[in-house]
Amino acid sequence: MCGRYTLMKLADLLKLIPWLQVPAEVLERQSRFNVAPSQVLPIVVESHGQTVLRDAKWGFVASWTKEKPRTQPINARSETVGQSGLFRRAFAERRCLVPADGFYEWKGAKPPKQPYLIRLRDHGLFAFAGLWERWYPPAGEPTDTFTILTTAPNELMKGIHDRMPVIVPPDGYRRWLTGEPPQDLLKPYPAELMEAVPVSPRVSSPKFDDPGCIEPISAP
């Protein structure tokens, strides 16, 4: 699964998606070292023929939901998302990219588990495959929400967790966003391009969101 991630280099998004329509000042947001579910975060979507950045809440709520749902999934299994009653329509019509430059996963059969920061070897920005939906609550303004797709682990992740988020390669961005068949994109990212670094258990609490969250510690 993917329950925490980092977003420190949003300004690099135009290097990955040069056709993105977004004011430059929007990309100068404060770095995030411990993004958590239920927070509002930037996603990339296709809207009226343009690729744009918009804010959405992490935790998927279907548009037809009448009352506040008990669960708001932060992840969706890529193997079954096309057949899921909850995600099927969004998978066909409302895909998104979720900018990130790392994610956390916890290793161990029981607490205290050791958190790891998983990132690209070049520490660059990348994008998860996501789905988004606009929810119309009984009271209040419409809310955009999103979930991150997961897949089987690559060789790096197998020793840490049995799932990993789907990372879309840059040459697949347009195809993912425009709804073309994505089967070859929904697979583990190459392990040789990634690294896993043990970090402080403080990342387990969303109240910590500072550079100390990504500082490597001695391997347990």
In order of 3, 68, 98, the CA distances from 35 in angstroms are 8, 22, 12
By C-alpha distance, which of 5, 65, 60 is closest to 33?
A: 5
Residue ranges and CATH numbers for the domains of the chain are: 5-214 (3.90.1680.10)
Choosing from 2, 96, 133, 213, the catalytic residue is 2
Asked if 105 is an active-site residue, the reply is yes
Indicate the pTM of the whole model.
0.96
Residue type, 207: K
Tell me what pLDDT residue 179 has.
86
Answer whether residue 140 shows pLDDT above 90. Answer: no
Q: Is the pLDDT of residue 148 over 70?
A: yes
Catalytic one of 46, 105, 133, 213: 105
**Per-residue pLDDT at 180:** 83
Q: pLDDT of 81-116, one tens digit each?
A: 999 999 999 999 999 999 999 999 999 878 889 999
Q: Please report the pLDDT score of residue 218 as a whole number.
A: 84
Q: Is the pLDDT of residue 220 over 90?
A: no
